[in-house]
Structure 1
Amino acid sequence: MLVAAAVCPAPPLLVPEVAAGAAAELADARTACSDALAVLAASRPDRLIVVGAADEDHRGRYPQGARGSFRGFGVEADVRLGEGEEGPRPLPTSLAVGAWLLRHARWGAAPVEGLGVGEPLEPERCLQAGRDLAAGEERLALLVMGDGSACRTVKAPGYLDERSAAFDAAAARALGTADTAALAALDAGLAQELKAAGRAPWQVLAGAAESAGLDGRLLYEDAPYGVGYFVAAWS
């Protein structure tokens, strides 16, 4: 059963070594992520699963100990999902950022695993994946990594799309109020057009939390670099 969840953005720039001179620009987001992880720790879970977007080669489950790297961003920095054997394949970037957040927070409250979710995955399959994760009696916590629209300004990765502000506002409301129905209703096609990499992970969360009765709080909302970033805590 799901007892708590934290929602965090997944840009590699959250990692100070990657951001370098721009590290201070996301300091408030890092602080909010640390606050959300404290909510997870306080829930005393038996297991934590980090959920994030992944390409075709990185979809599926990752065991505790799986390793990720930011070498592709010019930084010799490695991370792991807790202690354990390394695993057969590297973490996708979203889960690597999650692993860095856990290390930064000195996570030790429960064993950690990962789940990479394909961005094109249909909403109902995302919801069912979440239901499957939350089935059983163990106390489960989720760290859900995902960004909103990448089309908020003309300098955004996806340029400016006037639909992006409304999409992000709806996502922020749903994340801030733990509204699973609203998350489930996010339009997958529109999300893909707006390059919103958080849609599928958020809908996995919606499935896991359908009957959990959790309350939500939005801890951070901004669109630096023209991308919607949100931090929320559900407990």
Structure 2
Amino acid sequence: MLVAAAVCPCPPLLVPEVAAGAAPELDPLRAACLDAVAVLAAARPDRLVVVGPAPEDGVGTYQAGARGSFRGFGVALDVRLGRGDDGGTAGRPLPLSLAVAAWLLERTGWSAAPVAGLGVAESLAPADCLAAGRELAAPESRVALLVMGDGSARRTVKAPGYLDERAEGFDAASAAVLGSADTAALAALDPATARELQAVGRPAWQVLAGAAEGAGLSGRPLYEEAPYGVGYHVAVWS
């Protein structure tokens, strides 16, 4: 049973050590993400599942203790997903989205519930995303989700994907459904459009839509900006 969810973006720049001199620019985003994690803790879940895009086929699971790293960005910083002895599930490091989530949880000193991770392929079809979400919420235990994913990366000419005139409207619509916990509208997001706009959060958001079906959660937006031409949304469902 899903009792709470938080939606956060997953840029590595969220980690101050990676952002370096640009770190203060994202302080409002970091504050919103930390507030969102606090809402999850207040829900007193029995377990927390972190969901985010991953460069793998289908769906991959990561156990508590799985490790991630930001060394690829020139920063000697390693993270661990919750508490556990798993050094990187089956030898696999955490995908970047889950590594950012692990950093968030470490930053808040998360101890409210055991943690696991779910990496979803950016190509995963909506029906499969919804099915994965329903499976997460099926047990009788109280489940919370930390859902990581960015909106469009084509908001400006300096954005990673250059300017696409559709990007602003896509992000506004995504922010609205995430902020209002509209599971039907979230499930209906078009994967082709999301892919063209480089909105990597789409599959994780649709996992959330499946998990929240019938849960009766209300949404609240905490942040919506595109500081580097990429749509960053933070919202909580409770």
Q: Give TM-score, length-normalised by structure 1.
A: 0.98
CA distance in 2, matches of 1:58, 1:77: 28
* Matching residue of 1:202: 205
In 2 relative to 1, CA 57–21 (structure 1 residues): closer, same or farther, beyond 3 Å? farther
Pick aligned residue for 1:142 from 131, 136, 145: 145
Amino acid at match of 1:45: P
**Contact between 2:3 and 2:144, CA under 8 Å: does it hold in 1?**
yes
CA distance in 2, matches of 1:201, 1:56: 13
* Matching residue of 1:47: 47
CA distance in 1, matches of 2:56, 2:234: 26
CA distance in 2, matches of 1:234, 1:26: 23
CA distance in 2, matches of 1:131, 1:82: 23
After superposition, give the CA deviation of every residue in 1:142-175 in whole Å (9 maximum; x if it has no partner): 0000000000000000000001111101100000
**Contact between 2:57 and 2:121, CA under 8 Å: does it hold in 1?**
no
SS at match of 1:65: coil
SS at match of 1:211: coil
**Contact between 1:58 and 1:91, CA under 8 Å: does it hold in 2?**
no
Q: What's the CA shift for 1:84?
A: 1.1
> 1:16-31 to 2 correspondence within 5 Å?
16-31=16-31
Amino acid at match of 2:80: R
SS at match of 1:90: coil
Amino acid at match of 2:200: A
* Matching residue of 2:189: 186
* Matching residue of 2:236: 233
1:95 matched to 2:120? The reply is: no
* Matching residue of 2:110: 107
* Matching residue of 2:12: 12
Q: What's the CA shift for 1:83?
A: 1.5
CA distance in 1, matches of 2:48, 2:220: 19
For the aligned residues, what is the CA RMSD?
1.0
Aligned residues, how many? 235
In 2 relative to 1, CA 58–27 (structure 1 residues): closer, same or farther, beyond 3 Å? farther
SS at match of 1:39: helix
SS at match of 1:75: coil
Amino acid at match of 1:18: V
**Contact between 1:68 and 1:80, CA under 8 Å: does it hold in 2?**
yes
Q: What's the CA shift for 1:49?
A: 0.4
After superposition, give the CA deviation of every residue in 1:196-221 in whole Å (9 maximum; x if it has no partner): 01000000000000110000000000
CA distance in 2, matches of 1:184, 1:82: 29
**Contact between 1:127 and 1:205, CA under 8 Å: does it hold in 2?**
yes
In 2 relative to 1, CA 122–199 (structure 1 residues): closer, same or farther, beyond 3 Å? same
* Matching residue of 2:222: 219
CA distance in 1, matches of 2:6, 2:203: 15
Q: What's the CA shift for 1:136?
A: 1.5
Amino acid at match of 1:39: V
Amino acid at match of 1:22: A
SS at match of 2:220: strand
| Identical aligned residues as a percent | 73
Q: What's the CA shift for 1:59?
A: 4.7
Amino acid at match of 2:9: P
Q: What's the CA shift for 1:89?
A: 1.1
CA distance in 2, matches of 1:51, 1:74: 25
